[in-house]
């Protein structure tokens, strides 16, 4: 399951992933951010937040979705940040192993 919402006071679009972040969930994730990008709020969004507090696992399809979204945002506005928050230790270790923060400057792991 996935929940998404725009937070106008923070100029942020937040997505919360529940369960496994895998290929089927990556497709829902892509749909959510494309819907946001076509909304009236997209020009007012400076931060994108992915809450992983309810995410148990992540696979390569989900990582690929995050990286594609990061590339898209960087082309649209290089100052836009993608924040990955509340990841469990396993997911943090995956991101650290692929050195996501050093390869993608607009992605921050919190």
How confident is the model at residue 71, as a pLDDT? 87
Domain ranges (residues) in the chain: 2-109
Query: Taking all residues of the chain, what is their mean pLDDT, rounded to a whole number?
Result: 91
Structural tokens at position 36: 């946001």
Q: Sign (positive/negative) of CA torsion 10, 77, 73, 92?
A: negative
Q: Which CATH superfamily is domain 2-109 in?
A: STAS domain (3.30.750.24)
Percent of the chain at pLDDT exceeding 90: 64
How confident is the model at residue 61, as a pLDDT? 95
How confident is the model at residue 92, as a pLDDT? 94
Calculate ∠ Cα 89-28-77, nearest 5°: 80
The model's pTM is: 0.90
């Amino acid at each position: 399951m996935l929940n998404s919402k725009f937070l106008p006071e923070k100029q942020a679009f937040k997505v919360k992933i529940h369960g496994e972040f895998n290929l089927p969930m990556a497709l829902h994730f892509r749909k959510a951010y494309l819907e946001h990008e076509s909304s009236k709020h997209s020009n007012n969004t400076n931060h994108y937040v992915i809450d992983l507090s309810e995410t148990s696992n992540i696979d390569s399809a989900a990582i690929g979705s995050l990286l594609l979204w990061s590339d898209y945002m960087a082309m649209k506005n290089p100052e836009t940040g993608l924040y990955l928050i509340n990841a469990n230790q396993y997911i943090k270790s995956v991101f650290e192993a692929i050195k996501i923060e050093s390869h993608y400057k607009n992605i921050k792991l919190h």
